A and B are shown apart, each in its own frame.
Chain A
Amino acid sequence: MIPLETILFYLFGAATVASSLAVVTQRNPMHSVLFLIASFAALAGLYINLDSPFTAVTQIIVYAGAIMVLFLFVVMLLNAPREDVPSPYGPAYVTLTTGPRKAFALLSVVLLVELALAIRQFVSAQAPSGPLAAEHVSSVRQIGIAIFTTYSLAFEATSVLILVAMVGAVVLAKKKL
């Protein structure tokens, strides 16, 4: 019998890849944002498959619940039109498959091939590709202890970073200072 973990991996993995492809190929930016939210939900499922419930829940709260709402607000505010119709504001948008852009599609395929080769090299050189180690349960308590003792400098620096980003975003988006 195929273990449940494998079924869930393929299910959520297929959902993530399909949603990401939809994000990249949709014309309407509003639909792209919604497909990205679906992709994040599928990724949260993958994190739960990896015994990381805290990361899964944080992904939903931070990414799908806050960052995507920000994207949605900006798309609604700017009234971003579809990409292949001439915009009422300026020069017509260039479509996906014009000339040199086809070469760029090749670059992504090259990247994928390189990554596959790198993975093969890592697997054969380092740890054996055995099943994922499952002896130790990572609980929220351990993550909290790690963040607040070993990585406390990164934690404080992140809080300063968020403050700087908040002030910067408000200043950049103002009409006049």
Chain B
Amino acid sequence: MQPIIDFITSPITIAYIVLIHVVFFALQGAAAVLVLAERKVAAFSQQRLGPYRVGWWGILQPIADIVKLLFKEELRPKAADFWLFYLAPVISATTAFAAFVVIPFGPPTDLFGLLPKPINLQGMDVNVAVLIVFAITSMGVYGIVLAGWASNSKYSLLGGLRSSAQMLSYELSYGLALASAIVLGNSLSLRTIVDAQQSTALGGVLPTGWFLWPAFLGFVIYMIAGVAETNRAPFDFPEAEQELVAGYHTEYSSMSFALFFLAEYINMVTVSAVATNLFLGGWHWPFPLAWGWGFGVLNWLLKVSFLLFFYIWMRWTLPRYRYDQLMTFGWKWLLPAAVVNVILVAAGVIYFS
């Protein structure tokens, strides 16, 4: 009994528990900030101001949105299957959060000397981390399929089927782009891949170790497949307002809709976070780590924010793909490009070593 109590109350365990809570609540905060950021970026790219009444410069707008969603009435179509209808948003949100457990966001640190030995800034350090992210992302398809089916309505079913077919098609290119980064990093653990990208030139000014440079095509394929996986523009035909009412989440309201919304934004954050760790060097540039571990986390946050801005920018700039154009692009252009990319990267690794 005593060893168990010693284990539970040791500083390391408490630090990990606090870390997991921090990650969980930071993700929810990120989703809230993204709601505001999306509306502001959309407004500025359309030459208007966006939300600016609620709080200074619209900062409190997400809180207003959340309060509105909480107070709405929760509706369910009578003919909808009760269990599946309420299970679908739970699956979407759970897989979105679960994928973040294995993503590291900073160098190993001992929190200013509070801990006896350094902990990893990561939920769990496994040596198949990349595959776990891929596996949990592929489980996210179920939330959408079940939502489309359980709503028992034409728009939802069509939207759900199209959306899940799109996600499955782009998962292949997603996995192959991941494979090219794995080949370069020589490991499946995200921490090892990030640490392999730390070489710089000109005394820390130029990031030459990034896997972005040798695998540039892989990065482009990964971002395109990531955007298609999260059902964002220009690949958001299945949930477009003009075509399908709202696709698979037509019949949902209040908290269930909020869960789908949350899941979509957190999937965006996950794709950006994995892209940062695999291609953009994680926490290694621009501020050097010698200044402290906090600057490592700041580096990482800067890169993820840049990729999220890129996501939102793309949504309000590019027109939407039609569904058959989307599927043709995924199977006939992106998948062969991803295969060629893996072959070239593997050949390059063998040739230059």
Contacts and interface: CB of A to CB of B under 8 A. Distances in A.
A31 B87 CA distance: 12
Contacts of B136: 60
A73 B161 contact: yes
Contact of A30 (B126, B135, B149, B161): B149
Contacts of B263: none
B127 A66 contact: no
Contacts of B127: 53, 139-140
A73 to B, nearest CB: 7
Interface string A55-89: 00110110011100100110010000000000000
A156 B1 CA distance: 54
Nearest to A75: B149
Given A69-B145, A69-B164, A64 B126 contact: no
For A30, A53, A69, A139, the residue with the greatest tally of chain B CB atoms inside 10 Å of its CB is: A69
B84 interface: yes
A66 B138 contact: yes
B141 A65 contact: yes
Interface in A37-51: 37
B90 interface: no
- State the main secondary structure of chain A at its contact with B: helix
B131 interface: yes
A170 B213 CA distance: 40
Instruction: Give the size range of B's interface with the partner.
Output: 20 to 34
A145 to B, nearest CB: 14
Contacts of B135: 57, 60-61, 65
B142 A37 contact: yes
Instruction: Give the size range of A's interface with the partner.
Output: 10 to 19
Contacts, number: 52
Given A53-B126, A140-B128, A61 B138 contact: yes
B193 to A, nearest CB: 14
Contacts of B139: 60, 64-65
A64 B136 CA distance: 10
A54 interface: yes
B168 interface: yes
Contact of B134 (A31, A61, A76): A61
B177 to A, nearest CB: 15
Interface in A13-42: 30-31, 34, 37
Contacts of B161: 73, 76
B168 A54 contact: no
Contacts of A58: 131
A43 to B, nearest CB: 13
A69 B142 contact: yes
Contacts of B126: 53
Nearest to B1: A1
Nearest to A69: B141
B212 interface: no
Nearest to B133: A57
A5 to B, nearest CB: 16
The 9 closest A-B pairs by CB, nearest first: A65-B138, A60-B135, A57-B131, A61-B135, A53-B128, A57-B135, A76-B149, A57-B128, A72-B145
Interface of B: 81, 83-84, 87, 126-128, 131-132, 134-136, 138-139, 141-142, 145, 149, 157, 161, 164, 168, 188
15 contacts: A37-B142, A57-B135, A60-B136, A60-B138, A61-B135, A61-B138, A64-B139, A65-B138, A69-B145, A69-B168, A73-B161, A76-B149, A76-B161, A140-B127, A140-B188
Interface of A: 30-31, 34, 37, 53-54, 57-58, 60-61, 64-66, 69, 72-73, 76, 139-140
